[in-house]
Amino acid sequence: MKKILLALFVMCSALSFSAKVIKATDIDVKGNIVYEAGQNAPYTGFIETYNEKNVLLARTEFKNGIQDGSSKIFFPNGKLYSEASFKNGEQVGVQKDYYENGKLQKAPNGNWYYKDVAGWRQIEGVDDKYVLWSIYPYVSYDTRNNYLNPTAGTYAKFQIEGGHAGGYKAGNFGNVTLELRKYHKGLFKNNTFAYKVVGGVMSDGTKESQKFWVGGGNSLRGYDGGFFKGTQKLVATIENRTQLNDIVGLVVFADAGRAWKQNGRDPSYTRDNKDFGRNIGTTAGVGVRLNTPIGPLRFDFGWPVGNKMDDDGMKFYFNMGQSF
């Protein structure tokens, strides 16, 4: 009998200390104090807000009618969008905002944070400011018949860069890149095939802004510039170019590649893989070339194909000269 009474006491105690929860539609606000509708005492507990589909959008804690404790806002799909803590109506600590994939956004105080088993920790050096210097000797081989609009020949370039960067965790850095291009006659008169392969590797300690970026009008058309970032990269391109007359040319192209091993501190970057073979970007598109007295004008339209990832849709690019 004593055991039964003890169990009942523990159960009742747990129920009595559980926080009360009401909906935002069931409150009254008098001045700056929140009350449960029909009650005279200021409200203590959680208030939840729902949309018209009865999906939870927010959950906020109050004590004696004043916001005090945790506050969370949710995406319509139920995933956490933002969380913060309040004390006597004032926000304390750091507000943390998230993307829908669960990755943390930059906090309003200008810092970045990540969560581990010990709690939230600040990520240092993301907004690094620094001065750097470098030298980048190279050797090249060039048999192209035209610098701006080649239709035959070969181009190769091997470059080494080394330097020093200050700021957060100052130190030396270096990279090596190799670029190969080939041009030859195509399927008919005024038709040219053009190929390009670019690869590179750099030291892990290279600054965030100096790492390889893949994506954009000069590498992987169909993805935004810097869609891929990393300390290693490999990108290949094939183009078929047709000169219709002295002014207008048409191009069909396909690009493939990525950068990987970003090894960075930017928590908003979600495509960091250790292996080249995972999530390779593949794109295709068409372009128009207009010959002008100052050189060819380039208009390209590119689309992701195959593995589209999270940057789906057509991209438009304008520049001077051929893409390579």
* pLDDT tens-digit map of 59-114: 999 999 999 988 999 998 888 888 888 989 888 776 778 888 777 776 666 666 65
pLDDT at 140: 97
Global pTM?
Answer: 0.63
Q: What are phi and psi of 10, to 5 degrees?
A: -65, -40
Which one has a higher pLDDT value, 14 or 249?
Answer: 249
Q: Which residue, 123, 150, 170, sits at the end of a domain?
A: 123
Establish if 10 belongs to a structural domain. Answer: no
| Count of domains for the chain | 2
- Reported for 299-306, long-range contacts at CB under 8 A and 24+ positions apart, including other chains, are 300/217, 300/221, 300/251, 300/253, 302/221, 302/222, 302/223, 302/253, 302/255, 303/222, 304/222, 304/223, 305/222, 306/282
**CATH for 212:** 2.40.160.50
Closest among 295, 293, 283, 285 to 320, alpha carbons compared: 295
Q: Tell me: do 277 and 162 sit in the same domain.
A: yes
Establish if 210 belongs to a structural domain. Answer: yes
Establish if 178 belongs to a structural domain. Answer: yes
Q: Which residue, 75, 106, 123, sits at the end of a domain?
A: 123
Q: Tell me: do 148 and 58 sit in the same domain.
A: no
pLDDT at 84: 84
Q: Tell me: do 30 and 64 sit in the same domain.
A: yes
Convert the pLDDT of each residue in 131-189 to its tens digit.
889 999 999 999 999 888 899 999 999 999 999 988 877 889 999 999 999 999 999 99
